[in-house]
Amino acid sequence: MTAQTPVPSKQKRPFFFRRGPMENIATGLIGLGFLMLFQPFLLIFYTWSLVTLLAGTLMFIIVSKFPE
């Protein structure tokens, strides 16, 4: 009976340009790299820790500039 006002559909940003999830991924990478750097179990994890840390840190620096 009542006429509904059409709500304009909000333009969603692509996943890779959304700050929230991308920041979470970057944070996860940094955490993982940090654990790999200091873990006492496998040398191979230690070897690849810098790459993981660097990827996470650079990603964090970039995605933290995205709008909310």
Partner 1 sequence: MTARIRERTGQFFRMRRFKTQVKSVTDTSSTILGEAVARATPAPIASRIRGLSDRSMAWLFITPAIALLLAVNIFPLIWAIYLSFTNFRANRPNAALESVGLSNYSRVLNDPNIWQAMQTTAHFVFWTILLQTLIGFSLAYLIDRKFRGHAFWTTIILVPMMLSPAVVGNFWRFLYQPQIGLFNHIVSFLTGIPPSSFEMLGSVRLSPWAIIIVDTWMWTPYVMLICLAGLRSIPDYIYEAAEVDRASLWRQFWSITLPMALPFIMLAVLFRGIENFKMFDMVTLLTGGGPGSTTEVASITLKREAFESWRTGRASAFAIILFVAVFGLANIYVKALNKVKQR
Q: What is the DSSP string of the chain?
A: -PPPPPPPPPPPPPGGG-HHHHHHHHHHHHHHHHHHHH-SS-HHHHHHHHHHHHHHHHHHHHHTTS--
Q: Which of 18, 19, 25, 46 contacts partner 1 by CB under 8 A?
A: 46
Tell me if 27 contacts partner 1 by CB under 8 A: yes
Q: Which of 19, 47, 63, 67 contacts partner 1 by CB under 8 A?
A: 47
21 neighbors 15 (Cβ within 8 angstroms): yes
Q: Which of 54, 62, 65, 67 contacts partner 1 by CB under 8 A?
A: 54
Point out which residues bind partner 1 (CB under 8 A): 23, 27, 30-31, 33-34, 37-40, 43, 46-50, 53-54, 56-57, 60-61
